[in-house]
Amino acid sequence: MPAKITAAELLSRITEDPDMHALGLLPIDSLARHAYQTKTYPSIRSVYKASNADADECAEWDVTPEEWVEEMDAARIALAHDMKLDLVRKGFPLAM
């Protein structure tokens, strides 16, 4: 069974070390990491309900539609964090 991470777990770990790229916090064999590496931020940012779950990915990763949404949420959070972190490291000021 593939490793899983919840959005809450990821947020907790990001809070503990906000200067670390979130990709490194996603389990290597997780759907969240796969989504982070293969999907665009816009394609996952609005996935909030199980009825939007990709049936093929659910079957491939052996997850329920609800678990799929949770993994997409973790991928979205990781992508957003890492995009922001990269901008800060490049010297771009971020509005607060």
pLDDT tens-place string over residues 43-52: 888 777 788 8
Q: Where are the domains of the chain?
A: 7-89
For 71, what's the count of Cα atoms within 13 Å in the CB-facing half-sphere? 28
pLDDT tens-place string over residues 12-55: 999 999 999 999 999 999 999 999 999 988 888 877 778 889 99
pLDDT value of position 62? 93
- Distinct helix (H) and strand (E) counts, the chain: 5, 0
What is the token pair recorded at 55?
């049936």
What is d(CA 51, CA 90) in angstroms, rounded to the nearest whole number?
A: 38
Closest CA to 84 of 18, 13, 6, 17: 18
pLDDT value of position 5? 85
